[in-house]
Structure 1
Amino acid sequence: MIALIQRVSCASVTVDGDLVGQIASGLLVLLGVEQQDNAQKAQRLAQRVLGYRVFSDQDGKMNLNLQQSGGSLLVVSQFTLVADTQKGMRPSFSRGAAPAEAQQWYHCFVEQCRQQGVHTETGKFAADMQVALVNDGPVTFWLQV
Protein backbone atom coordinates (compact mmCIF):
# COMPACT_ATOMS: atom_id res chain seq x y z
CA MET A 1 0.00 0.00 0.00
CA ILE A 2 1.33 3.38 -1.02
CA ALA A 3 0.46 6.85 0.22
CA LEU A 4 1.73 9.96 -1.49
CA ILE A 5 1.09 12.64 1.13
CA GLN A 6 1.09 16.36 0.51
CA ARG A 7 0.86 19.02 3.19
CA VAL A 8 -1.83 21.39 1.98
CA SER A 9 -3.35 24.74 2.88
CA CYS A 10 -6.54 23.49 1.21
CA ALA A 11 -7.63 20.67 -1.08
CA SER A 12 -10.82 19.48 -2.75
CA VAL A 13 -12.17 16.76 -5.03
CA THR A 14 -14.86 17.26 -7.65
CA VAL A 15 -16.69 14.51 -9.57
CA ASP A 16 -18.96 15.43 -12.49
CA GLY A 17 -19.03 19.04 -11.31
CA ASP A 18 -20.06 18.12 -7.75
CA LEU A 19 -17.78 18.80 -4.78
CA VAL A 20 -17.40 15.45 -2.97
CA GLY A 21 -14.60 16.22 -0.50
CA GLN A 22 -12.88 19.32 0.81
CA ILE A 23 -10.46 20.24 3.60
CA ALA A 24 -8.61 23.30 4.79
CA SER A 25 -5.17 22.80 6.35
CA GLY A 26 -4.01 19.20 6.52
CA LEU A 27 -2.87 16.35 4.31
CA LEU A 28 -3.96 15.24 0.86
CA VAL A 29 -3.34 11.49 0.62
CA LEU A 30 -3.19 9.83 -2.79
CA LEU A 31 -3.61 6.13 -1.97
CA GLY A 32 -2.53 3.19 -4.14
CA VAL A 33 -3.51 -0.37 -3.25
CA GLU A 34 -1.35 -3.32 -4.32
CA GLN A 35 -2.26 -6.99 -4.73
CA GLN A 36 -0.85 -8.21 -1.41
CA ASP A 37 -2.40 -5.45 0.72
CA ASN A 38 -4.63 -6.30 3.67
CA ALA A 39 -6.23 -4.82 6.79
CA GLN A 40 -2.95 -4.93 8.72
CA LYS A 41 -1.16 -2.92 6.04
CA ALA A 42 -4.03 -0.42 5.89
CA GLN A 43 -3.82 0.04 9.65
CA ARG A 44 -0.03 0.41 9.62
CA LEU A 45 -0.10 2.95 6.79
CA ALA A 46 -2.84 4.94 8.55
CA GLN A 47 -0.63 5.06 11.68
CA ARG A 48 2.32 6.27 9.62
CA VAL A 49 0.31 8.94 7.77
CA LEU A 50 -1.29 10.27 10.96
CA GLY A 51 1.97 10.15 12.90
CA TYR A 52 4.32 11.51 10.24
CA ARG A 53 5.76 14.82 11.43
CA VAL A 54 5.41 17.25 8.53
CA PHE A 55 3.88 20.30 10.23
CA SER A 56 5.93 23.13 11.69
CA ASP A 57 6.29 23.71 15.40
CA GLN A 58 6.81 27.14 16.99
CA ASP A 59 10.44 27.10 15.87
CA GLY A 60 9.55 26.41 12.23
CA LYS A 61 10.79 22.79 12.32
CA MET A 62 8.73 19.87 11.02
CA ASN A 63 8.04 18.31 14.42
CA LEU A 64 4.24 18.07 14.52
CA ASN A 65 2.01 15.37 13.09
CA LEU A 66 -1.45 15.84 11.61
CA GLN A 67 -3.29 15.40 14.89
CA GLN A 68 -0.97 17.77 16.76
CA SER A 69 -1.48 20.39 14.08
CA GLY A 70 -5.27 20.07 14.18
CA GLY A 71 -5.42 19.41 10.44
CA SER A 72 -7.77 17.31 8.34
CA LEU A 73 -7.27 14.53 5.83
CA LEU A 74 -8.47 14.19 2.22
CA VAL A 75 -7.97 10.64 0.89
CA VAL A 76 -8.13 10.03 -2.87
CA SER A 77 -7.73 6.63 -4.51
CA GLN A 78 -4.92 6.66 -7.09
CA PHE A 79 -4.23 3.33 -8.79
CA THR A 80 -1.47 4.87 -10.93
CA LEU A 81 0.82 4.96 -7.87
CA VAL A 82 1.26 1.19 -8.16
CA ALA A 83 2.38 1.34 -11.79
CA ASP A 84 5.56 -0.37 -12.90
CA THR A 85 7.43 2.21 -14.99
CA GLN A 86 10.81 0.49 -15.19
CA LYS A 87 10.70 -0.30 -18.88
CA GLY A 88 8.91 0.69 -22.03
CA MET A 89 6.82 3.75 -22.71
CA ARG A 90 3.58 2.53 -21.16
CA PRO A 91 3.03 1.81 -17.45
CA SER A 92 2.04 -1.66 -16.29
CA PHE A 93 -0.55 -1.98 -13.54
CA SER A 94 -0.02 -5.69 -12.87
CA ARG A 95 0.96 -4.99 -9.22
CA GLY A 96 -2.33 -3.25 -8.51
CA ALA A 97 -5.13 -4.92 -6.57
CA ALA A 98 -8.32 -5.89 -8.37
CA PRO A 99 -10.90 -3.07 -8.14
CA ALA A 100 -13.17 -4.74 -5.54
CA GLU A 101 -10.20 -5.61 -3.34
CA ALA A 102 -8.64 -2.17 -3.75
CA GLN A 103 -11.91 -0.52 -2.77
CA GLN A 104 -12.13 -2.69 0.34
CA TRP A 105 -8.64 -1.72 1.55
CA TYR A 106 -9.14 1.93 0.55
CA HIS A 107 -12.23 2.10 2.77
CA CYS A 108 -10.37 0.22 5.51
CA PHE A 109 -7.60 2.86 5.44
CA VAL A 110 -10.17 5.70 5.60
CA GLU A 111 -11.98 4.05 8.52
CA GLN A 112 -8.68 3.58 10.41
CA CYS A 113 -8.03 7.32 10.10
CA ARG A 114 -11.55 8.23 11.23
CA GLN A 115 -11.29 5.92 14.23
CA GLN A 116 -8.30 7.99 15.38
CA GLY A 117 -10.55 11.04 15.55
CA VAL A 118 -9.15 12.76 12.45
CA HIS A 119 -11.63 14.63 10.28
CA THR A 120 -11.36 12.63 7.05
CA GLU A 121 -12.90 13.49 3.69
CA THR A 122 -12.64 11.34 0.57
CA GLY A 123 -12.88 11.38 -3.15
CA LYS A 124 -15.05 8.83 -4.96
CA PHE A 125 -13.41 5.47 -5.55
CA ALA A 126 -12.78 4.66 -9.25
CA ALA A 127 -14.33 7.91 -10.43
CA ASP A 128 -12.81 10.43 -12.81
CA MET A 129 -11.90 13.06 -10.23
CA GLN A 130 -10.57 16.57 -10.43
CA VAL A 131 -8.30 17.26 -7.47
CA ALA A 132 -7.41 20.82 -6.54
CA LEU A 133 -4.82 21.67 -3.91
CA VAL A 134 -2.48 24.27 -2.58
CA ASN A 135 0.66 22.35 -1.61
CA ASP A 136 2.01 24.05 1.50
CA GLY A 137 5.80 24.23 1.32
CA PRO A 138 5.77 22.38 -1.00
CA VAL A 139 5.93 19.32 1.24
CA THR A 140 5.39 15.90 -0.37
CA PHE A 141 6.40 12.43 0.88
CA TRP A 142 6.04 8.86 -0.38
CA LEU A 143 5.10 6.31 2.33
CA GLN A 144 4.86 2.60 1.63
CA VAL A 145 4.14 -0.46 3.77
Structure 2
Amino acid sequence: MSLPRAKLVKNFPGCPVEATLTYLDGKWKGVILFHLMQGTLRFNELRRKLPAVTQRMLTKQLRELEESGLVSRTVYPVVPPRVEYAMTPLGMTLEPVIQALAAWGDDYVFCSPEGRELRLASDGLRAPIAALEA
Protein backbone atom coordinates (compact mmCIF):
# COMPACT_ATOMS: atom_id res chain seq x y z
CA MET A 1 0.00 0.00 0.00
CA SER A 2 1.33 3.42 -0.89
CA LEU A 3 1.76 6.29 1.54
CA PRO A 4 -1.33 8.45 2.04
CA ARG A 5 -0.97 11.79 0.31
CA ALA A 6 -1.32 13.49 3.70
CA LYS A 7 2.16 12.17 4.59
CA LEU A 8 3.65 13.91 1.56
CA VAL A 9 2.46 17.41 2.46
CA LYS A 10 5.84 18.79 3.52
CA ASN A 11 7.24 18.16 0.03
CA PHE A 12 4.02 18.32 -1.96
CA PRO A 13 4.59 19.41 -5.55
CA GLY A 14 1.10 20.91 -6.01
CA CYS A 15 -0.49 24.20 -5.08
CA PRO A 16 -1.43 25.18 -1.49
CA VAL A 17 -5.10 24.27 -2.09
CA GLU A 18 -4.12 20.78 -3.19
CA ALA A 19 -1.80 20.39 -0.21
CA THR A 20 -4.58 21.48 2.19
CA LEU A 21 -7.07 19.10 0.61
CA THR A 22 -4.72 16.17 1.26
CA TYR A 23 -5.59 16.54 4.95
CA LEU A 24 -9.30 16.23 4.15
CA ASP A 25 -8.84 13.59 1.45
CA GLY A 26 -11.35 10.87 2.21
CA LYS A 27 -15.11 10.65 2.26
CA TRP A 28 -15.50 10.94 6.03
CA LYS A 29 -12.59 13.04 7.29
CA GLY A 30 -14.30 16.40 6.89
CA VAL A 31 -17.44 15.09 8.58
CA ILE A 32 -15.43 13.60 11.45
CA LEU A 33 -13.65 16.92 11.96
CA PHE A 34 -16.98 18.76 11.84
CA HIS A 35 -18.32 16.64 14.71
CA LEU A 36 -15.08 16.83 16.71
CA MET A 37 -15.19 20.63 16.52
CA GLN A 38 -18.04 20.38 19.04
CA GLY A 39 -15.77 18.60 21.52
CA THR A 40 -14.23 15.28 22.47
CA LEU A 41 -16.15 12.19 21.37
CA ARG A 42 -15.83 8.49 22.03
CA PHE A 43 -15.64 6.08 19.10
CA ASN A 44 -19.25 4.90 19.40
CA GLU A 45 -20.51 8.48 19.73
CA LEU A 46 -18.83 9.28 16.42
CA ARG A 47 -20.24 6.11 14.91
CA ARG A 48 -23.79 7.11 15.92
CA LYS A 49 -23.30 10.53 14.31
CA LEU A 50 -22.19 8.84 11.07
CA PRO A 51 -24.64 5.96 10.59
CA ALA A 52 -23.62 5.36 6.95
CA VAL A 53 -19.93 4.72 7.74
CA THR A 54 -18.68 1.23 8.52
CA GLN A 55 -16.67 0.60 11.68
CA ARG A 56 -13.64 -0.35 9.57
CA MET A 57 -13.78 2.84 7.49
CA LEU A 58 -14.30 5.06 10.55
CA THR A 59 -11.28 3.45 12.21
CA LYS A 60 -9.19 3.94 9.06
CA GLN A 61 -10.16 7.59 8.66
CA LEU A 62 -9.53 8.32 12.35
CA ARG A 63 -6.09 6.70 12.14
CA GLU A 64 -5.18 8.82 9.11
CA LEU A 65 -6.38 11.99 10.87
CA GLU A 66 -4.29 11.01 13.89
CA GLU A 67 -1.22 10.37 11.71
CA SER A 68 -1.72 13.80 10.11
CA GLY A 69 -1.73 15.41 13.55
CA LEU A 70 -5.29 16.73 13.25
CA VAL A 71 -6.89 14.42 15.81
CA SER A 72 -5.62 13.02 19.10
CA ARG A 73 -6.60 9.61 20.42
CA THR A 74 -6.66 8.95 24.16
CA VAL A 75 -7.00 5.37 25.44
CA TYR A 76 -8.05 4.91 29.06
CA PRO A 77 -6.89 1.68 30.76
CA VAL A 78 -10.31 0.54 31.95
CA VAL A 79 -12.51 -2.43 31.19
CA PRO A 80 -14.16 -2.13 28.74
CA PRO A 81 -11.56 0.06 26.99
CA ARG A 82 -12.51 3.69 26.59
CA VAL A 83 -11.11 5.62 23.63
CA GLU A 84 -11.71 9.32 23.07
CA TYR A 85 -10.96 11.44 20.03
CA ALA A 86 -10.40 15.19 20.04
CA MET A 87 -9.07 17.77 17.64
CA THR A 88 -5.50 18.88 18.18
CA PRO A 89 -4.47 22.55 18.02
CA LEU A 90 -3.41 21.91 14.40
CA GLY A 91 -6.81 20.37 13.69
CA MET A 92 -8.56 23.39 15.17
CA THR A 93 -6.82 25.60 12.60
CA LEU A 94 -9.08 23.90 10.02
CA GLU A 95 -12.21 25.07 11.86
CA PRO A 96 -12.85 28.06 9.52
CA VAL A 97 -12.47 25.76 6.51
CA ILE A 98 -14.93 23.18 7.92
CA GLN A 99 -17.39 25.93 8.92
CA ALA A 100 -17.20 27.42 5.41
CA LEU A 101 -17.97 23.99 3.92
CA ALA A 102 -20.91 23.59 6.31
CA ALA A 103 -22.26 27.06 5.44
CA TRP A 104 -21.99 26.38 1.72
CA GLY A 105 -23.78 23.05 2.20
CA ASP A 106 -26.54 24.77 4.15
CA ASP A 107 -27.03 27.25 1.33
CA TYR A 108 -26.68 25.09 -1.77
CA VAL A 109 -27.09 21.39 -0.96
CA PHE A 110 -30.53 19.94 -0.42
CA CYS A 111 -30.58 16.70 1.51
CA SER A 112 -34.31 16.10 1.25
CA PRO A 113 -37.19 17.26 -0.96
CA GLU A 114 -38.68 19.11 2.02
CA GLY A 115 -35.46 21.02 2.53
CA ARG A 116 -35.33 21.94 -1.16
CA GLU A 117 -38.90 23.27 -1.06
CA LEU A 118 -38.05 25.38 1.97
CA ARG A 119 -35.03 26.82 0.14
CA LEU A 120 -37.07 27.60 -2.97
CA ALA A 121 -39.61 29.47 -0.84
CA SER A 122 -36.87 31.62 0.65
CA ASP A 123 -36.36 34.89 -1.24
CA GLY A 124 -32.65 35.08 -0.42
CA LEU A 125 -31.70 31.87 -2.23
CA ARG A 126 -33.78 31.97 -5.42
CA ALA A 127 -30.99 33.37 -7.60
CA PRO A 128 -28.30 30.88 -6.49
CA ILE A 129 -30.73 27.96 -6.84
CA ALA A 130 -31.71 29.09 -10.35
CA ALA A 131 -28.03 29.28 -11.26
CA LEU A 132 -27.47 25.73 -10.00
CA GLU A 133 -30.43 24.38 -11.98
CA ALA A 134 -29.35 26.02 -15.23
The TM-score, its normalising length taken from structure 2, stands at 0.26
Highest RCO, 1 vs 2 (Cα 8 Å, sep ≥ 6): 1
Which protein is richer in strand relative to its size?
1
The TM-score, its normalising length taken from structure 1, stands at 0.25
Which protein is richer in helix relative to its size?
2
Structure whose alpha-carbon radius of gyration is higher:
2
